[in-house]
């Protein structure tokens, strides 16, 4: 099976702009989670989507939002970019069954490196 793909791989934006990142999960995986990685804060959970519904959300401001489509592909949007939003954004998919949580391993994409100038 093809792995998790993320586009674009690199982005450069300026403060105040908005950005949309895309993630395609492994075929058959319906759970998609997003993480932000920075040198200062490490790896932090942003949100998780399952069957087009946000199931969990981390402690990030409302400028960070996401959605999931019927084919399980997910997008993440950051509006009004700040310098501190510069980070590696990682998407992960997992095999979560309709009956509930499975606590399985997550499969990560290569990430999108966002630089805000």
| Segment interacting with another protein (CB under 8 A) among 15-23, 50-58, 66-74, 76-84 | 50-58
Q: Give which of 26, 13, 2, 7 is closest to 114, Cα–Cα.
A: 13
- Does residue number 61 form part of the binding site for another protein (CB under 8 A)? no
Part of the chain binding another protein (CB under 8 A), chosen from 16-24, 60-68, 74-82, 102-110: 102-110
User: Which two structure tokens, joined as six digits, stand for 114?
Assistant: 């966002």
Contact 83, 102 (CB under 8 A): no
- Tokens for 61? 């401001």
The count of chain residues that interact with another protein, using the rule CB under 8 A, is 32
CB of 57 to another protein, least distance (A): 9
């Amino acid at each position: 099976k093809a792995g998790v793909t993320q586009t674009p791989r690199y982005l450069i934006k300026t403060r105040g702009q908005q950005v949309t990142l895309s993630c395609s999960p492994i075929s058959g995986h319906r759970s998609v989670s997003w993480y932000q990685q920075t040198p200062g804060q490490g790896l932090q959970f942003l949100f998780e989507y399952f069957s087009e519904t946000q199931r969990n959300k981390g402690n990030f401001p409302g400028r960070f939002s996401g959605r999931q489509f019927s084919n399980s592909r997910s997008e993440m949007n950051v509006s009004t970019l700040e310098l501190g939003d510069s980070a590696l954004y990682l998407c992960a998919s997992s095999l979560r069954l309709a009956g509930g949580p499975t606590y399985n391993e997550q499969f990560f994409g290569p990430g999108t490196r966002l630089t805000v100038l």
